Amino acid sequence: MDRALAVLAQATEAFPRDDGLWEEMGDLELSRGRRADAVAALVRGGRTLLAARALGPAERLLHAAGRLEPWHGEATLLLARAWARSGRRRDAIRLLEGLAQRTGGRTRAAARALALRLSPTPGRLWRWLRPSAGSG
My answer on whether 95 and 71 are in the same domain is no
Q: Residue 131 pLDDT > 80, yes or no?
A: no
User: What's the whole-model pTM score?
Assistant: 0.86
State whether 6 and 69 are in the same domain.
Answer: yes
Domain boundary at 25, 44, 75, which? 75
Domain count, the chain: 2
Tell me, yes or no, whether 59 and 96 share the same domain. Answer: no
Asked if residue 125 belongs to a domain, the reply is: yes
Cα–Cα distance measured from residue 17 to residue 12, given in angstroms and rounded to the nearest whole number: 8
CB 79 within 8 A of CB 66: yes
Q: State which residues form the domain around 134.
A: 88-136
Predicted confidence (pLDDT) per residue in 66-106, tens digit: 999 999 999 999 999 999 999 999 999 999 999 999 999 99
Please tell me whether residues 122 and 95 are part of one structural domain: yes
CB 127 within 8 A of CB 133: yes
Helix (DSSP H) and strand (DSSP E) numbers for the chain: 8, 0
* pLDDT of 133 higher than 90: no
The rounded distance, in Å, linking the Cα atoms of 104 and 24 is 32
Return d(Cα 60, Cα 19) in angstroms, integer. 9
